[in-house]
Protein backbone atom coordinates (compact mmCIF):
# COMPACT_ATOMS: atom_id res chain seq x y z
CA UNK A 1 0.00 0.00 0.00
CA UNK A 2 1.18 3.53 -0.81
CA UNK A 3 0.07 6.31 1.52
CA UNK A 4 0.02 9.71 -0.15
CA UNK A 5 1.40 11.81 2.70
CA UNK A 6 0.01 15.38 2.61
CA UNK A 7 3.50 16.85 3.14
CA UNK A 8 5.93 14.21 1.89
CA UNK A 9 4.03 12.72 -1.02
CA UNK A 10 3.62 9.01 -1.76
CA UNK A 11 5.27 6.81 0.91
CA UNK A 12 5.33 3.03 1.39
CA UNK A 13 2.94 1.91 4.15
CA UNK A 14 5.82 -0.10 5.64
CA UNK A 15 7.27 3.22 6.91
CA UNK A 16 4.21 3.66 9.11
CA UNK A 17 2.92 2.18 12.34
CA UNK A 18 -0.79 1.48 12.49
CA UNK A 19 -2.89 2.40 15.50
CA UNK A 20 -6.51 1.84 14.47
CA UNK A 21 -9.85 3.58 14.13
CA UNK A 22 -9.54 7.38 13.90
CA UNK A 23 -12.35 7.65 16.45
CA UNK A 24 -9.53 7.19 18.97
CA UNK A 25 -8.85 10.93 18.50
CA UNK A 26 -12.01 11.60 20.50
CA UNK A 27 -10.71 10.53 23.88
CA UNK A 28 -13.20 11.11 26.71
CA UNK A 29 -12.28 13.55 29.44
CA UNK A 30 -10.40 11.52 32.03
CA UNK A 31 -11.63 13.69 34.91
CA UNK A 32 -15.33 13.33 34.18
CA UNK A 33 -15.97 10.26 32.00
CA UNK A 34 -17.32 7.07 33.59
CA UNK A 35 -15.44 3.77 33.65
CA UNK A 36 -17.94 2.39 31.12
CA UNK A 37 -17.29 5.29 28.73
CA UNK A 38 -13.55 4.71 28.92
CA UNK A 39 -14.04 0.96 28.47
CA UNK A 40 -16.01 1.58 25.30
CA UNK A 41 -13.40 4.06 24.05
CA UNK A 42 -10.45 1.77 24.78
CA UNK A 43 -11.76 -1.65 23.84
CA UNK A 44 -14.76 -1.54 21.51
CA UNK A 45 -14.46 -1.02 17.77
CA UNK A 46 -16.85 -0.54 14.83
CA UNK A 47 -14.54 -2.74 12.72
CA UNK A 48 -16.33 -2.03 9.41
CA UNK A 49 -15.93 -3.96 6.16
CA UNK A 50 -15.56 -1.10 3.69
CA UNK A 51 -14.53 2.50 4.24
CA UNK A 52 -12.49 2.97 7.42
CA UNK A 53 -10.87 6.12 8.80
CA UNK A 54 -7.75 5.15 10.68
CA UNK A 55 -4.65 6.51 12.38
CA UNK A 56 -1.21 5.85 10.90
CA UNK A 57 2.04 7.15 12.46
CA UNK A 58 4.94 7.97 10.13
CA UNK A 59 7.61 6.46 12.35
CA UNK A 60 10.23 6.04 9.62
CA UNK A 61 9.56 9.54 8.31
CA UNK A 62 8.46 12.86 9.72
CA UNK A 63 6.73 11.31 12.77
CA UNK A 64 3.41 12.87 11.93
CA UNK A 65 0.08 11.23 12.68
CA UNK A 66 -2.19 10.80 9.68
CA UNK A 67 -5.87 10.03 9.28
CA UNK A 68 -6.07 7.66 6.31
CA UNK A 69 -9.42 6.81 4.73
CA UNK A 70 -9.00 3.30 3.38
CA UNK A 71 -11.32 0.56 2.19
CA UNK A 72 -10.75 -2.54 4.34
CA UNK A 73 -12.12 -4.82 1.63
CA UNK A 74 -9.97 -3.57 -1.27
CA UNK A 75 -7.13 -1.76 0.61
CA UNK A 76 -7.77 1.27 -1.63
CA UNK A 77 -6.77 4.56 0.02
CA UNK A 78 -9.05 7.45 -0.93
CA UNK A 79 -8.02 10.25 1.43
CA UNK A 80 -5.05 11.17 3.62
CA UNK A 81 -5.13 14.03 6.13
CA UNK A 82 -2.88 15.23 8.91
CA UNK A 83 -4.45 14.03 12.18
CA UNK A 84 -3.62 17.47 13.58
CA UNK A 85 -5.93 19.11 11.04
CA UNK A 86 -8.70 16.58 11.71
CA UNK A 87 -8.50 17.11 15.47
CA UNK A 88 -8.48 20.89 15.15
CA UNK A 89 -11.47 20.79 12.80
CA UNK A 90 -13.28 18.91 15.59
CA UNK A 91 -12.52 21.72 18.02
CA UNK A 92 -9.44 20.31 19.73
CA UNK A 93 -6.67 22.78 20.63
CA UNK A 94 -3.87 20.50 19.33
Binding site for another protein (CB under 8 A): 1, 12-14, 18-21, 35-36, 39-40, 42-49, 52, 54, 70, 72-75
In the complex with another protein, the residue whose CB is nearer, 28 or 88, is: 28
- Which phi-psi region, left, alpha or beta, contains residue 83 (left: φ > 0; alpha: ψ -120 to 50)? alpha
For residue 66, the tally of other CB atoms under 10 A from its CB is 24
Residue 9 CB, nearest approach to another protein (Å) = 19
In the complex with another protein, the residue whose CB is nearer, 42 or 88, is: 42
In the complex with another protein, the residue whose CB is nearer, 1 or 7, is: 1
72: CB partners within 8 A, 6+ apart = 48, 49, 50, 51, 52
Amino acid sequence: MIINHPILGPRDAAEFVYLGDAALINRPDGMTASVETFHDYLYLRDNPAGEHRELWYHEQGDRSWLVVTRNTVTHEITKVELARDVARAQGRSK
